[in-house]
Structure formats: C-alpha cells, structure tokens
C-alpha cells in the first residue's frame, strides 16, 4: 500500500526524481511545447504535490493543480526508476485520483506530449480511463500536445424509488434477500446491483473491492484454482 507525503521537496530522493523528470521532459518536448514544471513551479499555492512511498522507498510522485473548485490538472507524474516498466503507473494514478477526490475534485485533466517518447504515458492514461479532450485552462491547440480528461463520478442523493441495502452481516444479507424477493414478486420490478453495474462498466475494479474487504475485516486474499476456474481464498 502506498503512503503519500505532501510537499517533501527537500528530501534528496524526491528532489533528484523531480529534477530528472524535468530535464528529460524538457529535452523531449519541442521548443514552445514543454509544459513540465520545475520544483519552484510546483511550490505555488495553487498546486498540491505528493511524494509516494512504498514502505521506506520512494515509489513515485505527482501533483494536482487547481483550475477551479471542482476541476484539477495532474502534473509531474513520475515513477521511480526501480518501479518503472512493471505496471506500477496505474497504482500511482489511482492513488493521485483518490487524493483528488478527497479535495472534492470531480474533473481531472492533463496534458502530455504527442511524440513517440510519450507513447508509454499515453497508454497509461488510456488504461486509467482518460479520454482526449479540447485544450483546457491556458492551453492552446498544439500538434505537439495531447489533452486528456477524466470525469469522476459525482455523489447524489437517491430519490424516491431507490433503496440501499447493507449486506455486511448474515442477518442484513437475509433481510435484504427477503426485501428483494417481496418487491420482485409482488410488484413485478427488478432490483439492480449498483456495484455489479459499476464493475461491469469498469468504474470500479475487482482489486478495489478486494482491497476494501481486506482493510475492513483484516483479511488477506490469495488466488487459487477450483473446479470451475479461479477462486479467492481468505485468511486472517
């Protein structure tokens, strides 16, 4: 599990990682199309920066620039060399998205390069459900830049006709089952499982569900093989 520390610019490893990131992206971007920020540029009040740690090792970093109350831009996303090319980019993005949601950010945008150097970054952002969009904030159309956007889900108050069933215990599971049976049998209605819909639409991932269960009930899951395919085994 990653731990985030806000600021921490003076840490030698963080300083080195940010400097390397700035130098590499500055060199890979044509003149006039480089939007990477140096350390002083990240220290402004409109930006929050986090270094991400796995145990005591620097894992990566990232920043959020506030464009308005609900719209932010990701900047300076970087994976430490030790963890690059191992599928860890998604972990950093997801962690930063969680931090953004805590700040009530509902829309996240970012700018990345259009050249071959930036192919891995574009593939990573696509996996994280970022989609192409028009230039935002101060950006203008540029053949050397790609603009991406991700709209986070918004929380709303469920109105008449909605029921939220808590099935966290055997008793509540039984009560929920009886409620569903009664509604479907007597009123001819079908009751949906919102979590299943979210999972099928990839709004949430299996690993998020497993992680939440592990944290809530102090369990550890491991994958095994059963007669019908893959199974999960839980242990305390």
Q: Which two tokens stand for residue 198?
A: 């979210």
Query: Domain 2-151: which topology?
Result: Aminopeptidase (3.40.630)
- As a whole number, the mean pLDDT across the chain is 85
Where are the chain's structural domains? 2-151, 205-236
Q: Which helix (H) or strand (E) holds 211?
A: helix 206-217
Q: In angstroms, rounded to a whole number, what is the distance separating the alpha carbons of residues 122 and 93?
A: 12
Predicted TM-score of the model (pTM): 0.64
Cα of first residue to Cα of last residue in the chain, in angstroms, is 18
Nearest to 70 by CA among 150, 7, 178, 176: 150
pLDDT the model gives residue 156: 65
Please, what's the largest Cα pairwise distance for the chain? 69
Q: For 47, list phi and psi in degrees, rounded to 5.
A: -125, 135
Instruction: Label residue 186 by pLDDT band (50, 70, 90).
Output: confident
Interval 101-145: pLDDT, tens: 999 999 999 999 999 999 999 999 998 889 999 999 999 999 899
Q: Which two tokens stand for residue 43?
A: 């220290």
């Amino acid at each position: 599990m990653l731990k985030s520390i806000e600021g921490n610019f003076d840490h030698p490893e963080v300083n080195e990682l940010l400097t390397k990131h700035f130098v590499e992206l500055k060199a890979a971007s044509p003149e006039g199309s480089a939007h990477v920020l140096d350390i002083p540029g990240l220290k402004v009040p409109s930006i929050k920066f986090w270094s991400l740690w796995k145990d005591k090792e620097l894992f990566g970093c990232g920043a959020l620039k506030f464009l308005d109350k609900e719209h932010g831009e990701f900047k300076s996303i970087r994976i430490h060399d030790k963890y690059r090319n191992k599928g860890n980019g998604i972990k950093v993005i997801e962690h930063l998205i969680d931090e953004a949601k805590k700040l009530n950010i509902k829309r996240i945008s970012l700018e990345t390069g259009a050249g071959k150097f930036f192919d891995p970054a574009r593939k990573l952002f696509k996996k994280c459900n970022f989609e192409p969009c028009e230039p935002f904030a101060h950006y203008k159309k540029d053949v050397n830049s790609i603009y991406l956007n991700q709209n986070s889900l918004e929380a709303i108050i469920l109105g008449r006709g909605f029921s939220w069933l808590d099935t966290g215990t055997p008793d509540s599971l039984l009560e929920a089952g009886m409620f569903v049976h009664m509604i479907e049998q007597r009123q001819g209605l079908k009751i949906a499982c919102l979590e299943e819909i979210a999972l099928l639409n990839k709004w949430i991932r299996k690993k998020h569900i497993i992680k939440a269960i592990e944290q809530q009930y102090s369990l550890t899951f491991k994958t095994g093989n059963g007669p019908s395919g893959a199974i999960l085994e839980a242990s305390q």
